[in-house]
Amino acid sequence: MVTISSERVRLSVAQPAARRADNGPLLRLLIMLGVLGPLAAVVVAIIQLWQRSIAGVDLVLLVGMYAVVALGVTIGYHRYLTHRGFKAPGWLKFLLLVLGSMSLEGPALTWASTHLEHHARADRPGDPHSPLEGFFHAHVGWIIDGFAANPTKYGAWLLDDPIVRFVSKTFWLWVLLSLAIPFAVDGWRGLLWGGLVRIVLVHHVTWSVNSVCHVFGRRPFKTGDSSTNHWLVGLLAGGEGWHNNHHAFQRSAFHGLFWWQFDLSGLLIRGLELTRVISDVQRIDPALVRRRLQESARTVAASPASVSTATG
Ligand SMILES: [Zn+2]
Ligand SMILES: [Zn+2]
């Protein structure tokens, strides 16, 4: 359960609206095209190259490995490891962290520590990837700039975890395995689609949570940052696009809080809970969700200047 200090609520009133003022509708549209354009191009490339440079088996490799690896990030790295949204047996923990590693988004320890720092300083100085420093910076620029995670300050408990330490130390082994599997199935063509194209798609979709979901979309909860809910990222990133919900209730294993907010990761977590594979699944009391929504609406009504324009 997450509580928000009065300081953070005050910040939510003062900061996000000012940050958004620089981006006009045309610029926002161009940025959106820049993010989604390459994804659309991949689909077009698949159609164009059908039967020449791609076959059915490659499409199965692409979709299958995309789904499994992306869920390794959303369920394994994010909801389980970083936010402790549920308890898992050792074998499942190992498997989830290996799948997350296959995304080539850094070792589990680094990923979780960076993300904890993001939540601790969301859209304030020190946030590793706030769009305050530019949309490109939030999307991928912060990685190019060489952000250094600080696990001793953010996520120190992870340093004592032998499974986290082992999977993090052997990170490149799992990356190579994620390339070797599609190569073994369909040679260089399998490596291209199940390996490289899959990495590009997982990268951009999960990075969009940091960029798109702090700029575009709706903010039903006042959270002291500029996090938003965006349905398309929610759809592509296994439910992670309900990012304003997540900033409001960080430990919740479910990011979709209403039936219309499709949350594939949440559905799989529910399935694992029903089959008793995992336990202590963190969920939010619906009464608290309603109360927070009402409080947020009252805050907006009281200070119209703080209302963000919803574009998603
Ligand atoms: Zn965020
Ligand atoms: Zn998070």
How far separated are the first and last CA of the chain, in Å rounded? 27
Place of tokens 């349905």: 231
* Bridge partners, 279 (sequence order): 87
Distance 311 CA to ligand 1 centre (A): 17
Distance 70 CA to ligand 1 centre (A): 17
The SS3 of residue 240 is coil
Domain that residue 199 falls in: 10-306
Percent of the chain with pLDDT over 90: 67
> What is the count of structural domains for the chain?
1
Distance 205 CA to ligand 2 centre (A): 15
Structure confidence at residue 101 (pLDDT): 97
Structure confidence at residue 45 (pLDDT): 75
DSSP state of 305: G
Establish how many alpha carbons lie within 13 A of residue 42's alpha carbon, considering only the half-sphere containing its beta carbon.
18
Distance 122 CA to ligand 1 centre (A): 6
CA of 227, nearest ligand number: 1
At residue 31's C-alpha, the angle toward residues 19 and 15, to 5°, is 10
* Spatial separation of the C-alpha atoms in residues 296 and 219, rounded to whole Å: 9
- Given a contact cutoff of 8 angstroms between Cβ atoms, the answer to whether 103 and 236 are in contact is no
Residue 311 lies in a domain: no
DSSP state of 123: T
Distance 244 CA to ligand 1 centre (A): 8
Residue 94 lies in a domain: yes
**Token couple for 221:** 């909860």
Structure confidence at residue 92 (pLDDT): 98
Query: In the chain, which residues have pLDDT < 70?
Result: 1-24, 27-28, 30-38, 41, 48, 51, 303-312
Please state, as a whole number, how many other Cβ atoms lie within 10 Å of the Cβ of residue 42: 16
Please state, as a whole number, how many other Cβ atoms lie within 10 Å of the Cβ of residue 132: 19
Q: Which of 7, 221, 18 is nearest to 131 (CA)?
A: 18
* Spatial separation of the C-alpha atoms in residues 155 and 197, rounded to whole Å: 32
The SS3 of residue 255 is coil
At residue 6's C-alpha, the angle toward residues 287 and 80, to 5°, is 55
Burial of 216 (0-12, 13-18, 19+ CB in 10 A): buried
Residue 107 lies in a domain: yes
- Given a contact cutoff of 8 angstroms between Cβ atoms, the answer to whether 310 and 229 are in contact is no
Residue 3 lies in a domain: no
The SS3 of residue 50 is strand
**Secondary structure percentages of the chain, helix, strand, coil, to 5:** 65, 0, 30
Distance 92 CA to ligand 1 centre (A): 26
Residue 312 lies in a domain: no
Structure confidence at residue 4 (pLDDT): 37
Structure confidence at residue 26 (pLDDT): 72
Distance 186 CA to ligand 2 centre (A): 36
Task: Give residues whose Cβ lies within 5 Å of ion ligand 1.
Answer: 227
Residue 1 lies in a domain: no
**CA 72 to chain CA centroid, nearest Å:** 11
Distance 219 CA to ligand 1 centre (A): 12
Residue 4 lies in a domain: no
Distance 247 CA to ligand 2 centre (A): 7
* Spatial separation of the C-alpha atoms in residues 82 and 71, rounded to whole Å: 14
Residue 2 lies in a domain: no
* Spatial separation of the C-alpha atoms in residues 95 and 125, rounded to whole Å: 35
* Spatial separation of the C-alpha atoms in residues 277 and 294, rounded to whole Å: 36
